[in-house]
Amino acid sequence: MLRGMVQLVALLRSNGNPGCFASRQRHEKLYFLVTTYHIYTALQSDCHVTVTESKQHQLSPDSTSPIEILTLRVESINPAVRPFNISLNSADYTDFREKLRAPIRTSPNVVIHQTISELFLETFRAQVELNQRYKLPSGQEVEPCIGCMQVPASTKLVRLCQTTGMDNESECQQCFCRPMWCLFCLGRWFASRQDQQRLETWLSSKVPCPTCRAKFCILDVCMVH
């Protein structure tokens, strides 16, 4: 096989996306790339990552939209580490970026097309930042998000929509789960439960808690502090 035909394995351990690997043992997080003849590794803390190219591919005539593949150039300040490229589906780019320690640069000529779900996640996050905060009870520790196991759980569902001027007959229910999800994973869950043909209903819709199934709306999502 040609060298450029690579097998990319394990993006940050948890989600099965291609591109890099994160050790949760005693080592620093690594970029990890496997090709036909080589294995490339580099410490995140030593690297600059740049999106250098974006290409769209129509995988089948039945596909409603093309797949966008990004090329990310990983360059280390360690002269012993050779630069290498990572191929990444643009649908996984936001998740990839959220779990890195350093920002990703984008070349001036590269345009990354956001999906509807990605645009919604930005709006979801902005709205939740405006909501009431949840104060963690004394002595209770924040656990890792059970969705990604990469960052601390940062949200708590608290039924607040009735106190913010909404209809008294709201279908929202009180969730008694402890903080278990980070904002990004909860936002992705919220987006995954939406009707793709009715975009205008996304912000006002109600979805079940991914753990206990109690219904909630976006106004019930509180950041933990």
Tell me, yes or no, whether 91 and 169 share the same domain.
Answer: no
> Each residue of 95-129: pLDDT tens digit?
788 777 778 899 988 887 777 787 788 889 999 99
Instruction: Assess if residue 19 is contained within a domain.
Output: no
Amino acid at residue number 216: F
CB atoms under 10 Å from CB of 150, counted, come to 20
Q: Which two tokens stand for residue 146?
A: 């059970």
Q: Which two tokens stand for residue 102?
A: 């350093």
For residues 177-186, b (16+ Cβ closer than 10 Å) or e, as one string?
Answer: eebbbbbbbb
pLDDT on residue 222? 97
pLDDT on residue 50? 94
Tell me, yes or no, whether 135 and 204 share the same domain.
Answer: yes
Instruction: Assess if residue 66 is contained within a domain.
Output: yes
Q: At what angle do helices 183-192 and 116-130 cross, to 10 degrees?
A: 130
Q: Tokens 């509180």 map to which residue? A: 222
pLDDT on residue 185? 93
pLDDT on residue 49? 92
pTM of the model: 0.59
Pairwise CA distance, residues 78 & 219, whole Å: 47
Contacts (Cβ under 8 Å, ≥6 apart) of 74: 31, 33, 40, 42, 47, 48, 49, 83, 84, 85, 86
Instruction: Assess if residue 3 is contained within a domain.
Output: no
CB atoms under 10 Å from CB of 187, counted, come to 24
Tell me, yes or no, whether 176 and 197 share the same domain.
Answer: yes
Tell me, yes or no, whether 108 and 128 share the same domain.
Answer: no
Instruction: Assess if residue 24 is contained within a domain.
Output: no
> Each residue of 59-68: pLDDT tens digit?
656 555 678 8
Tell me, yes or no, whether 125 and 56 share the same domain.
Answer: no
- pLDDT in single tens digits along all 225 residues of the chain: 323 323 333 333 333 343 443 332 223 467 777 778 888 888 888 889 999 998 887 765 655 567 889 999 999 999 999 999 989 888 788 778 877 777 889 998 888 777 778 778 888 999 999 999 999 998 889 999 999 898 999 999 999 886 545 455 568 999 999 999 999 999 999 999 998 788 889 889 999 999 999 999 999 999 998
Phi, psi of 90 (to 5 degrees): -60, -25
> How far, in whole angstroms, is CA 143 from its chain's centroid?
18
Q: State which residues form the domain around 98.
A: 30-113
> Helices in the chain by DSSP H: which ranges?
93-98, 116-130, 183-192
